[in-house]
């Protein structure tokens, strides 16, 4: 029976697309660029590609910031100041606490059932702490909030999850469950660490097999058999 639930944040509980669109729109306006739907989508795709390269160890976190701004500037034929752009974007993003509709309900139900929960994210330290505070979800993570930049390991490295389990005193991996939306980050990391996992909202590639698959957040409890453990 599971006792410890390790939740990814972005695109699992937090609506990153909404947060990103709001923040980047204001940044672009400040730089004199009209934030059309196409430009916002362009930035989103560039940003995602940079984070995927970071997951694979191909670039550093600082290179994410530099590359995404320069790549966007090249596509728009605009010269952005990387430091100013990044500072403004991170500040605005840290103020965004948009969650998916069922996030609060699910965490409230799981807390009432007796589960201990932690947040486990690859996001930037200052940005993620701000967004968690703005979201109102912090109260549910009694095991803590674990951010890769702060703990020194990133998903999908198994050490990321090993560190969390050791810190919270979970000696039996069979009592832990990782819940997230990314096959390449959350699920691959959990599998590598020998921890059960639940993939939310996406079909899993053949090479990555989650223990469970939940089409929606609403399905997590039933799919994973998360009953009352008090």
Residue 205: predicted pLDDT:
67
Q: CB within 8 A of 2, min separation 6: which ones? A: 115, 175, 176, 177, 196, 224, 226, 229
**Which tens digit of pLDDT belongs to each residue from 124-133?**
899 999 999 9
**Which tens digit of pLDDT belongs to each residue from 33-58?**
999 999 999 999 999 999 999 988 99
- Its sign, for the CA torsion 145, 149, 151, 157, is positive
Share of the chain above pLDDT 90, in %: 92
Q: How confident is the model at residue 207 (pLDDT cuts 50, 70, 90)?
A: confident
Kindly report the CA angle at 42 between 36 and 47, in degrees rounded to 5? 130
**Candidates 3.40.720.10, 3.10.20.30, 3.40.50.1000, 3.30.230.10; CATH matching 4-15+98-223:** 3.40.50.1000
Residue 84: predicted pLDDT:
97
178 beta partners = 6, 197
CA terminus-to-terminus distance, the chain: 12
Q: What is the spatial distance between Cα 206 and Cα 147, in angstroms, rounded to a whole number?
A: 28
Q: CB within 8 A of 81, min separation 6: which ones? A: none
**Which tens digit of pLDDT belongs to each residue from 143-164?**
999 999 999 999 999 999 999 9
CATH 1.10.150.240 in the chain, residue ranges: 16-93
**Tokens of residue 158, six digits:** 């198994």
Residue 229: predicted pLDDT:
87
CATH 3.40.50.1000 in the chain, residue ranges: 4-15+98-223
Pick the catalytic residue from 8, 15, 157, 186. 8
**Which tens digit of pLDDT belongs to each residue from 189-205?**
999 999 999 999 977 66
pLDDT exceeds cutoff 80 at 17: yes
Model-level pTM? 0.93
* Catalytic residue status for 181: no
Q: What is the spatial distance between Cα 88 and Cα 175, in angstroms, rounded to a whole number?
A: 41
What average pLDDT does range 53-65 have in this prediction? 92
* Catalytic residue status for 8: yes
CATH numeric code, 16-93? 1.10.150.240
**Which tens digit of pLDDT belongs to each residue from 107-119?**
999 999 999 999 9
Q: Chain-wide mean pLDDT for the chain?
A: 95
What average pLDDT does range 15-44 have in this prediction? 97
Residue 214: predicted pLDDT:
95
> Contact at 8 Å (CB) between 179 and 144?
no
Residue 206: predicted pLDDT:
66
């Amino acid at each position: 029976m599971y006792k410890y639930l390790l939740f990814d944040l972005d695109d699992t509980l937090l609506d990153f697309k909404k947060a990103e669109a709001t923040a980047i729109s204001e940044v672009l306006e400040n730089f004199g660029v009209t934030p059309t739907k196409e430009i916002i989508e362009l930035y989103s795709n560039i940003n995602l590609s940079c984070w995927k390269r970071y997951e694979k160890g191909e670039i550093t976190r600082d290179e994410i910031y530099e590359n995404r701004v320069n790549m966007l500037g090249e596509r728009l034929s605009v010269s952005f100041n990387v430091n100013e752009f990044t500072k403004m974007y991170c500040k605005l993003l840290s103020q965004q606490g948009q969650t998916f509709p069922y996030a609060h309900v699910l965490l409230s139900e799981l807390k009432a059932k007796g589960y201990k929960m932690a947040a486990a994210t690859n996001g930037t330290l200052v940005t993620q702490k701000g967004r968690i505070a703005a979201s109102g979800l912090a109260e549910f993570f009694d095991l803590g909030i674990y951010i890769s930049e702060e703990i020194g390991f990133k998903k999908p490295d198994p050490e990321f999850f090993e560190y969390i389990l050791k810190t919270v005193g979970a000696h039996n991996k069979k009592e832990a469950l990782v819940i997230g939306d990314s096959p390449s980050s959350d699920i691959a990391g959990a599998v590598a660490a020998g921890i059960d996992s639940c993939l939310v909202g996406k079909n899993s590639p053949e090479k990555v097999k989650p223990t469970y698959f939940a089409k929606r957040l609403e399905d997590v409890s039933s799919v994973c058999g998360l009953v009352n453990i008090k």
